[in-house]
A and B are shown apart, each in its own frame.
Chain A
Amino acid sequence: MTMHAEASPTPVPFVVNDAVRRKMKHEKIAKGIFATMIVLMLLPLIGILGYLVSQGAPLISWDFLTTNPAKGMTQGGIWSALLGTIWLVIVSLCISAPMGVMAAVYLNEYARDNWFTRIVNLAVVNLAGVPSIVHALFGMGAFVLFFDMGRGILAASLTLAVMTMPVVITSTREALGAVPMSFREACWNVGATKWQTIWKIVLPNSISGILTGVILEISRKAGETVPIMFTGAVFFKKIQEGDFFAYGLNDQCMALSMHLYTVTTQVNGAPRELPFAVATVLIVSIILINSTAIATRAWLRSRKKW
């Protein structure tokens, strides 16, 4: 079969002519423009955050974190605000994390594809889109007044829990969906029940996605202001310094985010650095929490089992 060799065309060499050069230039320009776009978007933001942190950092010390605000909040530290935020996050996480994970398990493992499931999905999407101020109104109308909890950590945490649950639902669902169907079928075939399959195989193998969702939820809760404003957070409250359990479940509390609002807009005569320092604590903790989520995800992905 020498025919073949003879018939094959001589390869066209790649010539860099004007047209190609123009095309490559176009390419470069396009890339340059879009890169500029994203840099223009990100750089000022990072610059601003850097500026805030540089202004606030000098004031931050161990004392700043562990003493109550003093003298009409113009002096002292942020202890009661910090502790309030921590407790709000812990209590609401205890409610929304298990509920969110189970809701995702229902939607991904139990729900059949019918009109009811579509409505549930729609509800999750819309719940995520409800403005925080409306959640605040809901929390006040439902938890504070109707269920008569009064303003306090419990009511505020419940409001936060309802608000941030979609975060966990969405990320957990994504993680559950990534577990291959064949694993489930293999388990059903050997007589495992639905729940045994979920507990032994599906959940352990979607843990990275679930954890990421939960950690993101933490940072979301820590930063919110509006939902807790009318349900449990107060401008000022003095608590026992150094006592981690200084707040009770039904106590009103201070919160970092709310404290930043207060010292920025409501307090006169505070040193210029004070609000910067509060903002820095908030920003740094949220970036740390989110970085933990990203690192966890990367780490757990690296030891994926299939």
Chain B
Amino acid sequence: MVSKIQVQNLRTWYGEKQVHHGISFHVEPNEIFGIIGPAQSGKTTLLRAINRTFEFTAGTRQEGVISVDGEDVKRVRDVYELRRKIGMVAPLPVGLPLSIYDNVAFAPRSAGMRNKGELDELVERCLTQAALWDEVKDRLDSLGTKLSGGQQQRLTIARALSHQPEILCLDEFSIAIDPVTTMRIEDVLKVLKKDMTIILVTNLVQQARRLAARTMFLWNGEIIECDKTEVIFGGKPADKRTHDYVNGIFG
């Protein structure tokens, strides 16, 4: 079976500062793959390298191969197609200054979808999946930026689902939202797992424990350990640093 994402010997730089020191791992289809690690260890950069938004930042450089569905992302014919294959949820919610409806319809419209019926259906489905539909169904025309922080984060998730991605990357999605909503979204993720591969970057180690099938511990741009979640959290991980980190001794 082909891995959904295969990363080989990835090394990245912001100017002179090296972020990743040659990391390799793979993600299986339809699994929830957890990435944990302290701040500044290169988690966000990794996601940005996968969907190739990393190169938008001036002065960045990258070596090694990242392939999605066996295809090198550096060589894909249509980079926008690649980005649509990957749903990305940023740590801080970003409601675009459009109506709630347009926020969700933005991606499919950019991709060329024009049919009103299809769009309506899609918007409703995505908002429902993101656990936001009931709260906003009566005011789809109001501005997305005027929602509360938690609602905006769910709107961001709805937008990430709107282009029907095969991979969903969540980058510390629960920073800006309350625990109850977090739990609701975690339930949603368990359901979504049937349809897509999920990469869950989180600084809440317990969240990875609850959701992920396998977990990777990234520290200072190096993989300390990558194994089944039970092993990482099982009290006897291969590396002592992993043990210390997941038990809150450092980090």
List chain A positions with a Cβ less than 8 A from chain B.
112-113, 182-183, 185-193, 196, 200-201, 204-205, 305-306
Contact = CB atoms under 8 A, between A and B. Distances in A.
Contacts of A188: 53, 56, 83
A190 B83 contact: yes
14 contacts: A113-B59, A183-B97, A185-B94, A186-B94, A186-B156, A189-B160, A190-B87, A190-B107, A190-B162, A191-B80, A191-B84, A191-B111, A200-B106, A306-B145
Contacts of B97: 183, 201, 204-205, 305-306
Would you list the 9 A-B pairs with minimal beta carbon distance, nearest first? Answer: A191-B84, A305-B97, A190-B107, A189-B88, A191-B83, A306-B145, A192-B110, A186-B94, A191-B80
Contacts of A201: 96-98
Interface in B92-123: 92, 94-98, 106-107, 110-111
Contacts of A200: 98, 106, 110
Contacts of B81: 191
A186 B87 CA distance: 10
Contacts of A186: 90, 94, 96, 156, 159
A188 B58 CA distance: 16
Contacts of B143: 305
B158 to A, nearest CB: 11
B145 A190 contact: no
Interface of A is mostly: helix
B44 to A, nearest CB: 11
Nearest to B59: A113
Contacts of B82: 191
B163 interface: yes
A182 B84 contact: no
B128 to A, nearest CB: 18
Given A191-B107, A205-B97, A113 B159 contact: no
A306 B80 CA distance: 27
Interface of B: 51, 53, 56, 58-59, 80-84, 87-88, 90, 92, 94-98, 106-107, 110-111, 143, 145, 156, 159-160, 162-163
A205 B107 CA distance: 18
B102 to A, nearest CB: 9
Nearest to A199: B110
A16 B95 CA distance: 52
B5 to A, nearest CB: 16
B110 A191 contact: yes
Contacts of A196: 110
B90 A189 contact: yes
A113 B60 CA distance: 12
A201 B99 CA distance: 12
B85 to A, nearest CB: 8
A6 B56 CA distance: 59
Contacts of B160: 189-190
Q: Which residue of A112, A113, A188, A205 has the most chain B CB atoms within 10 A of its CB atom?
A: A188
Contact of B92 (A182, A190, A205): A182
A190 B84 contact: yes
A193 B90 contact: no
B110 A182 contact: no
A201 B145 CA distance: 13
A189 B53 contact: yes
Contacts of B94: 182-183, 185-186
B106 A190 contact: yes
Nearest to A183: B96
Q: Which residue of B90, B106, B143 has the most chain A CB atoms within 10 A of its CB atom?
A: B106
Q: Which residue of A190, A192, A201 has the most chain B CB atoms within 10 A of its CB atom?
A: A190
A53 B248 CA distance: 77
B123 to A, nearest CB: 14
Contacts of A305: 97, 143, 145
Contacts of B58: 112-113
A188 B55 CA distance: 12
Contact of B80 (A113, A183, A192, A204): A192
Contacts of A113: 58-59
Contacts of A187: 96, 106, 110
A306 B87 CA distance: 24
